[in-house]
Amino acid sequence: MLKITDSVAVITGGSGGIGKALAEYWLNNGGKVVLADVMEEALAAAAAELRKISPEVVTSLCNVTVEEDCTELAKLAISSFGKINLVAPFAGITSDGLLIKTDRGTGKVTGKMPLEQFQKVIDINLTGVFLTVRECVEQMINHDCRGLICLVSSTGSLGTAGQLNYSSSKAAMSVMPKVLTAEFFRRGFADKIRCMAVAPGYVGTPMVKNMDERIIGKILEQVPINRLVEPEEVVSLVAELYRNEAMAGETVFIHGGLRLGSKG
C-alpha cells in the first residue's frame, strides 16, 4: 500500500472542480502538489488558498495541448520535489452539440457540428492527456518513481446524445488504462507505475450546481441516490486507487447508480 505522506501529485485542470478538491485532499494528508492550469488568475487564486493548508504547492501555467508546456510541467515536479507519484490529468472541457441538425418540418439538414467544436474537445480532453501522461511517465521512469496515473473518464463514455466530441474523448480514457498497463508490463515496470481511470457521473462542481434547477431535477431523476456525486467522493476514490497497488488497468465508475435512458 502506498502512502500519500510526502508523495507528489501533478494535477492539471487544478484551479477548480475535482482537480482542486484532489489538491486539497493531497495536502491535508501530507502530500505535495504541482498544480497546473491554463487560466492564470484562477490558478493563482487556487494556489493561494491551497497554501493555507500547506506550503508544499508549486504552480505551472500550462496549456496541455502544447507539447513544450507538458514537458516543462513534468520537469517542474522533478526540480521542485524530486519525484512524481500521482499523475492526475484532469484538464477537460465540454462543448455540446449535435452532429447534424434537421428541420422538424422538412427533415432537411439545417446545421452541422463545426470541425473546430469537435477538435477543441479532442485536443484538450484526449491529446492533452496523452501529452501530460507521456511527459510525466518519462520523468517517473528516469527518476525511479513509484505511483499511479489516474485518468478521468465519464459516464459520457457510454454514449450521450449531443456529446459526440466529449463522449469520444472519455471513451478513449476508458481504454487507456488497459493499453498503458500492457505497455508497462512489457517493459517490466508495471509493478511500479500503474494506470487506472475513474468515471464519474454528475458531479456537484460549482459549474453544475449553478445550472438551472429544472435541469438538475431532470438529471437527478436518473440517479438512484437522488443527489449529485460530490467532488470529495471522487477524490476519495482516486486516493484509494493510489494507495491500493492491486488496482491496475481498469476504469471504475462512480455515479450514484446512474441509469442512462434509451436516448442517452
The answer to whether the CB of 61 falls within 8 A of the CB of 73 is no
Q: Long-range contacts of range 209-213, CB-CB < 8 Å, 24 or more positions apart?
A: none
Report how far residue 24's alpha carbon sits from residue 58's, in angstroms, rounded to the nearest whole number.
13
Q: Where in the sequence numbering do the catalytic residues fall? A: 166
C-alpha cell at 208: 453544475
Nearest to 189 by CA among 137, 119, 254: 137
Cell 454514449, located at residue: 159
Cell 487506472, located at residue: 196
The answer to whether the CB of 121 falls within 8 A of the CB of 93 is yes
**With the C-alpha atoms ordered 231, 80, 126, 119, is the resulting torsion angle positive or negative?**
positive
- Helix axes 67-81 and 128-142, enclosed angle (nearest 10): 30
Cα 160 to the center of its chain, rounded Å: 18
